[in-house]
Amino acid sequence: MKKVLLVDDEILVRENIRDCIPWEREGFDYLGDASDGEMALPMIEQLQPDILITDIKMPFMNGLELCHVVRAKFPQIKIIILSGHGEFDYARKALSLGVEEYCLKPISASDLVGLLRAVGDKIDKERSEKEQLAGLMRRELEKAGNSRHKLLSDLCGGMLSAPEAIQTAESLSVPLVARWYAVTIIDLRPAEPSTGEMDVEGAADWTDLLEHIRKECDHRQMLQYPASRTKKVCIVKGDTESAIKKLLEPFRRVQAILEEPACRFPLSLGIGSGHERIQGIHLSFLEAEESLHWLRLTRQNRQNLLEATRSSIQHNILLDRQAFIRFLKIGTSRQLSSFIPEFAAVLQSIDWDASLTGYYILNDLTLEVFKVAEESIRGPGDSGQSLRSFQGRIEAVDRWEEACAYLTHLVEQFWLWRARSTDRYADLLHRVKDYIAANYDKGYISLQHAAEHVSMSPSHLSKIFSQETGQTFIEFLTETRIRRAMELLQSTQCKTYEIACQVGYSDAHYFSNLFKRVTGMTTTEFRKHGALTAVKTSIRLAREEPHDHAVSESLE
């Protein structure tokens, strides 16, 4: 139903038009009428008609003046002028104001209905086009949002090289480029297992937490995406390491609250450390996941400890975890025999046979040691299996002397991990690089395949490879392929598409674009100039300073 308002200073004209047209049957809603433009304006403001029918010659405010005001304030309203004046100047002025129809009085009811139908059809067409445009814009926004989500997810997953990430971010208008990055993960789930659905209050708390952090952080330095229904990932970026540390301070304050033994807030927060270059996003993400994992294990253990000691007089027994961690880092083997009995003296009053208190206290300390090992010396590698082994030893403790022996073993194991951490992955990385060298020409090669080759999980291999080589698996594979392509361009007369296939790319166009992004030259330019040494230097510099202005230009 199109809404219609009539303005005419002749009451007979208004009554005749009002009474002679079957408005509802014709698909129109007659809103009423006014005797001049000044009286009509408040009605237009309030009723918002779709079609305005007006005379020209009226007292106080004539039809042309009314049209001028309406076109300025309500451009969507269609205007039909009915006038007893056929002068050309009136018609020309009306048309310049965007009037839909200019008709001379008298006009029959059937002719006016025809005009209304034509204008109504035009309104329907414009509305349809507007809805289609809005739908297209929504789909484009959704597509851009999904693409942005995929970009950030792939960055955290280590699936993109720096040139690919920069190009994709620019196409999506995502402000990605910075010198330093860190990743945090917020997980809105109870620390203990639960079969119930997440309640509305919890969802509100998530929003409140993010708002609290956002108020203290410059939102322009944060990129966020939902990793799942319960997880939200935030990538913070800055120009210096100190800037990253400052941006992480609000997260760390919240994490400290969540780590309090009495905290029952159904949130977990993992924080990765700051890393240089785009490839550091993946490494920081893995650290944040580990931080999240250890926090959840620790909170679960403390909840169990609380339950175990709720009716026990032993609830005041606590170990100084920070003192133990300090000793791990700066203590010596000669001090160990004296440190452990003194540190564990508070455990002498525990009844190991009648209470689980001792188990949960030792388990809490063990979880803290494993967390420190993962953060500082990259842990034992198979942390899950190692932790279960230690927890098995804790279960066998049934007196204070055995607790001291366990703590001594825990310290010695940490020192052993630390001693082995320097060269523990040399053989593994050698095998992975050999695998890439032997299979780079196969288009299907991936992190998953390499992980299966060395009998390791993809996520753990990805973390080790990034930490030890300074490159992600994808970046190393891409560099291997591009270097081989450079050799083929210099030593053979193969076409570009043939070389693309020989180095593992089935799409020659993608290979050509990637080659230029990495080397700064097209394949033709490279073959013509033979600048192998210069390009090798370019690749090395791009890897060392990917955000330098000159290098960024060469990548583009």
* Ranges 253-257, 474-478, 491-495: which has the least confidence: 253-257
Of the chain, the percentage scoring pLDDT greater than 70 comes to: 79
Residue 502 reports pLDDT greater than 90: yes
Task: Return the exposure string of 107-129: e unless at least 16 CB atoms fall within 10 Å of the residue's CB, then b.
Answer: eeeeebbebbeebbeebeeeeee
CA 115 from chain centre, in angstroms, equals: 53
CA atoms within 13 Å, Cβ hemisphere of 68: 8
Residue 386 confidence (pLDDT) above 50: yes
Alpha helices in 217-277 (DSSP H): 241-258
Q: How far apart are CA 124 and CA 281, in angstroms?
A: 51
Of 298 and 411, the one with more pLDDT? 411
CA distance 73 to 443: 61
The pLDDT-based confidence of 348 (bands split at 50, 70, 90) is confident
Higher-confidence residue of 330 and 32: namely 32
Dihedral class, residue 61 (left if φ above 0, else alpha if ψ from -120 to 50, else beta): beta
More confident residue, 99 or 76: 76
* Average pLDDT taken over every residue of the chain: 79
CATH number, domain 426-555, options 1.10.10.60, 3.40.50.460, 1.20.1060.10, 3.30.310.50: 1.10.10.60
Q: What is the pLDDT of residues 197-246, one digit of tens each?
A: 333 334 445 556 666 666 666 667 889 888 888 888 999 999 888 888 88
Q: Would you place residue 533 in the very low, low, confident or very high pLDDT band (cuts 50, 70, 90)?
A: very low
Question: Region 539-547: what's the mean pLDDT?
Answer: 45
pLDDT at 197: 39
Of residues 445 and 302, more confidently modeled = 445
CATH topology of domain 2-128: Rossmann fold (3.40.50)
- Return the domain boundaries, the chain: 2-128, 157-302, 311-423, 426-555
Give the separation between CA 490 and CA 530, rounded to whole angstroms. 7
Q: How far apart are CA 383 and CA 371, in angstroms?
A: 10
**pLDDT value at residue 189:** 66
pTM above 0.85, yes or no: no
Residue 154 has φ and ψ, to the nearest 5°, of -65, -35
As given in the structure block, the two tokens for residue 312 are 């026990």
Whether residue 33 is predicted with pLDDT greater than 70 in this model: the reply is: yes
Per mean pLDDT, which of 39-43, 327-331, 514-518 is the most reliable?
39-43
- Same CATH fold, 157-302 and 2-128? no
Which residues sit opposite 2 in a β-bridge? 28
In this predicted structure, the answer to whether residue 453 has a pLDDT above a threshold of 80 is: yes
The distance in angstroms from the start CA to the end CA of the chain is: 55
CATH number for the 157-302 domain, one of 3.30.420, 3.50.70, 3.40.50, 3.30.70?
3.30.70
Q: Higher-confidence residue: 434 or 556?
A: 434
